Structure formats: C-alpha cells, structure tokens
Amino acid sequence: MAEVILMPRLSDTMTEGVIAAWHKNVGDAVKKGDLLAEIETDKATMELESYQDGILLHIGTPKGGKLQVNDLLAIFGKAGEDISALVAQHAGGATPAPVATPAPAAAPVAETPAVASTASLDVSNMEEVVLMPRLSDTMTEG
C-alpha cells in the first residue's frame, strides 16, 4: 500500500518550506536513510532523509515549490501502484515555484514641498517636554 509523506515541521517556528533540491526522481528506488530532498525553512536549509523503503511514486512540488507544513511532499509505494486517490485527497497544497514577472511602471507622483512656518511661534512661554523612552515591551511607567 502506498504511503503519503507530508511536509515535516523541521523547526519550532517553521510554517512552510521551499524545496531547494530533489535528490530522487519519480520511479527511483529509495531505501531508509537515503537523502530524499533539501528543504529551505525559515532558518536554514535542511536535508530530509527517507524513513522507509519503496519506490518514489509522486513528488508534491518540483524544485523551488513551496509547501506548508503537513502538505503532500511525496508518495512512496510499489511500482505501478495506483495513487490517484491519494493525490486527489491531498490536492491543492503546493504553491508552484515563483516565476519572475516584470513590475509595472509606477505612475509619477507629484511631490508637494512641505512648508514649515516657525517664524510665528513664541518659544519664550514654552516648556521643554522630555518623554521617557519605552525600555521594554512591558514597561508602563518610568
């Protein structure tokens, strides 16, 4: 029976991963411990080893594709096994590799010069106010 491999959470803060490289192709025999793929996380590029034996029947996204944690990464099984139901069950998770598109030209923005009039201020009656900087997120008073 075919086994579904989901995108693992490779760090505590990982929410998605980008496939940096596949080291196996569809149809390749994979043994436990073989290097399957390299996955870029929010912190580092990690090597993903296979934790089972079998034939790689399906790849969830090509090199450069983005997967959320627990999206379909790959399917292992026996050669010729029907995996269409498993693929359909996990469809829609992968984000394809980004394609470079030229940015549209920005419309010119008319700049208006800032007018500062300090000549009419009477500073002789003003008090100097010094604000206490917030030294931490929980600070409420100084």
Answer whether residue 84 is part of any domain.
yes
Both tokens assigned to 38: 């390299």
27 or 103, which is more confident?
27
Answer whether residue 50 is part of any domain.
yes
Both tokens assigned to 53: 């034996």
Answer whether residue 128 is part of any domain.
no
Q: For residues 37 and 28, give the distance between their C-alpha atoms in angstroms, rounded to a whole number.
A: 13
Answer whether residue 79 is part of any domain.
yes
Residues 41-74: pLDDT tens digits?
888 999 999 888 999 998 988 999 999 989 988 8
At residue 95, the pLDDT reads: 52
Q: For residues 114 and 117, give the distance between their C-alpha atoms in angstroms, rounded to a whole number.
A: 10
Q: How big is the chain by its Cα radius of gyration, in Å?
A: 28
Domain CATH number, residue 69: 2.40.50.100
Q: Give the model's confidence band at 127: pLDDT under 50 very low, under 70 low, under 90 confident, else very high.
A: confident
Answer whether residue 119 is part of any domain.
no
Answer whether residue 98 is part of any domain.
no
Q: For residues 41 and 20, give the distance between their C-alpha atoms in angstroms, rounded to a whole number.
A: 10
**Total count of domains within the chain:** 1
Q: Let me know: does 20 contact 101? Beta carbons within 8 Å.
A: no
At residue 100, the pLDDT reads: 52
Check pLDDT > 70 for residue 116.
no
Q: What stretches of 76-126 show up as alpha helix (H) in DSSP?
A: 84-89
Q: For residues 70 and 29, give the distance between their C-alpha atoms in angstroms, rounded to a whole number.
A: 23
Answer whether residue 52 is part of any domain.
yes
Both tokens assigned to 116: 């500062």
Domain residues for the domain of 19 are: 3-89
Both tokens assigned to 93: 């998770």
Answer whether residue 39 is part of any domain.
yes
Q: Let me know: does 76 contact 55? Beta carbons within 8 Å.
A: yes
